[in-house]
Amino acid sequence: MPEEKKKVYRIVGETSRGKEKKPEPKSIWRMGPEDLPTPKGVGYIQSRWDLCTGCGACEMACSQGHFGVMDREYSRIRIFRYFLPLPKSVQNVCAHCPRDERECQKACPLDPPAIFYDDKNFHMTVDVERCADSGCHYECMTGCPAEVPRGIPGQKGVMVCNLCERDGIRQPRCVDICPNYALEFLSPKFPQHLDRNHPDEKAKALARRLYPLKGDQIQRQPEEIWGGK
């Protein structure tokens, strides 16, 4: 009997020369705040007041990264909460001011100042040992318009944002963890004077923008609007 020819089965999409290359799916590329390039030189954390919901994740990430505890009292970024009259939160973090505008550094009674700008790594820093032995009354905190420098709980000396710099690499934890992209690490694009304002001043500006009516006009009874009883 003649031998039966063996049937050859090919996988769908294959050719005799090999597998066909399927066209790669087209992807739509979107750029979000997490994709912004890291500043190579001067950089600071820009606060988006309008996007902050007051969740406090940034405070927890900061305290955990620097002190190993999840306690907002150990955080170098602080969230202030207001009623404008609706609840609103405002971030307060160091703006790493230009040379002539570093009021905290100017206020330090030591020479050279214990709080100063690290020109190599592009951020403010504190010589904690010299600061703790100075015996001053937090002149740097009162000198800063936003009162950013804070005392270290249970210790002498102050702390200030250093952009989570380690071995020359800056990667702020608060920026990475913020779920609403209310914090951005970028190069200064415009004067930083708004970021140096105290949170109380920022809240007033937000209130005027979000709620232009006076407090007694925000909630009115229907009869006051339409008339009648």
CATH topology for 40-212?
Alpha-Beta Plaits (3.30.70)
First CA to last CA across the chain, in angstroms? 107
Kindly report the average pLDDT of the chain as a whole number: 82
| Euclidean distance between CA atoms 44 and 185, whole angstroms | 6
| Euclidean distance between CA atoms 1 and 12, whole angstroms | 33
- HSE-CB for 77 with a 13 A CA cutoff: 36
Cα 59 to the center of its chain, rounded Å: 10
Bridge partner residues of 116 (DSSP): 125
Tell me how many degrees the CA angle 113-116-120 measures, rounded to the nearest 5: 135
- Whether residue 143 contacts residue 106, with contact meaning beta carbons closer than 8 Å, is answered with yes
> For the segment 165-222, what is each residue's pLDDT rounded down to a tens digit?
999 999 999 999 999 999 999 888 765 667 888 999 998 888 888 776 665 555 556 6
> For the segment 70-112, what is each residue's pLDDT rounded down to a tens digit?
999 999 999 999 988 778 999 999 999 988 999 999 999 999 9
The whole-number pLDDT of residue 21 equals 55
Least confident of 16-25, 103-112, 133-142, 214-223: 16-25
If 0-12 CB within 10 Å is exposed, 13-18 middle and 19+ buried, where does residue 47 land?
buried
Which residue ranges make up each domain of the chain?
A: 40-212
| Euclidean distance between CA atoms 192 and 182, whole angstroms | 16
